[in-house]
Amino acid sequence: SSALFPETRADWRRYPTLHWITDTLIPFCRFQFHIFNSGGRNFLYGISTGARGVALVAENTDSLFLAGAALSGDYDQTSMPSDRLMTGYYGPYDQFKNRWVGPDNPSLHTDNLKIPLYLAHGTRDAVVSCKQSIDFSRKIISEDPGRGHVLHLCDTCGHNYTFWNSQTENIFVFFEKAGKKIPRKSKNIRK
């Protein structure tokens, strides 16, 4: 999440926020380790909740990254109003709808997405509905059909490392293709 709230679970408050990643971690890594420099071969990869993180970081870092891979993610929490993870951060949907439709809803801020995403999901996923990836991909592809977004669905796959590991080669091919494109000039990370 981009912020913590009084309703955020106390044991989750120790975890970094989105802005800590974009405004502290990435600049520190640039300074200390000389990585995540603009124009570099930077890529994002995440599974499950990390896939949602890929979308949010991509939407908040302009074109710092060349591409992202997001597997089995959720991108519109308003379609899952009883989700315990989202409730644990934002509070109950019925009481705090403004938080659920705010800056942490990737599907509402796709106009900020400047990089291609490889989305993959198992249709037998019992944890996160594949409809999340389907709907998100439809939206980002329709808004920017030339960006190079990809959706891969696996009819026999669930929410597990067997599926995620099976996507490794596809992701490397996707990243290699994105890395061959001439990077656009990057703006500084938004705050």
How crowded is residue 97: how many other Cβ atoms within 10 Å of its Cβ?
14
For 94-191, list the strands marked E by DSSP: 117-122, 150-154
* Alpha-helix residue ranges (DSSP H) falling in 4-130: 18-20, 26-33, 49-59, 84-90, 97-100
pLDDT at 39: 87
- Amino acid residing at 184: R
Going residue by residue through the chain, which has 191 residues, state the pLDDT in tens, using 9 for 90 and above.
999 999 999 999 999 999 999 999 999 999 999 999 988 999 999 999 999 999 999 999 999 999 999 999 999 999 999 999 999 999 999 999 999 999 999 999 999 999 999 999 999 999 999 999 999 999 999 999 999 999 999 999 999 999 999 999 999 999 999 988 644 444 444 43
pLDDT at 50: 97
Burial 7-16 (b: 16+ CB within 10 A, else e): ebeeeeeeee
Whose tokens are 């599974």? That residue is 47
Q: Do residues 150 and 119 lie in contact, with contact meaning Cβ atoms separated by under 8 Å?
A: yes
Query: What is the largest distance, in Å, between two alpha-carbon atoms of the chain?
Result: 47
Q: Do residues 66 and 30 lie in contact, with contact meaning Cβ atoms separated by under 8 Å?
A: no
Q: Is 157 helix (H, G, I), strand (E, B) or coil?
A: coil
How crowded is residue 46: how many other Cβ atoms within 10 Å of its Cβ?
19
pLDDT at 13: 94
To the nearest 10°, the Cα dihedral for 75, 140, 44, 130?
Answer: 40
pLDDT at 138: 98
pLDDT tens by residue, 10-53: 999 999 999 999 999 999 999 999 999 988 999 999 999 999 99
